[in-house]
Amino acid sequence: VASSLVDLSLSYSPTVTSQKTRHDLHYQASIISEAKKFNLNDCVGLQIHTVDRTNTDAKLLPCLIIEKLEKDGKITFKLACEYGKLEIPYSIEHVVDLKMVCPEALKHIVI
């Protein structure tokens, strides 16, 4: 009797689905807006996880943006640090703006 009263085929009500979609679109738009603030040769930092550093090590790895990639509406960055190019592209969620505090050694690297 209960199964005839409730349609179990829908996992979300139409209202919840439309709100979720609206939220996703707003989030995607804010990510793209934030990513557009960064340009080539801007200084950014990558957070170093606590398991990969000691208490005295830096929490951020300063890097320069060497390439900005846009694919399927997602923007990623290719980065280089003073030790060389990083192989993995990183999204905006992974970088911290360091434009105002970029280390001198990083400003003078040649890629």
How far from chain centre, in Å, is Cα 16?
26
Domains of the chain, first to last: 12-107 (2.30.30)
pTM: 0.69
CA distance 28 to 34: 10
> How do residues 26-60 score in pLDDT, each as one tens digit?
666 666 677 778 899 999 999 988 888 888 788 99
| Phi and psi at residue 64, to the nearest 5° | -110, 145
Q: Are 32 and 75 in contact (CB under 8 A)?
A: yes
Q: Is 80 helix (H, G, I), strand (E, B) or coil?
A: strand
- Token couple for 53: 């550093």
> How do residues 80-108 score in pLDDT, each as one tens digit?
999 999 999 999 889 999 989 988 888 88
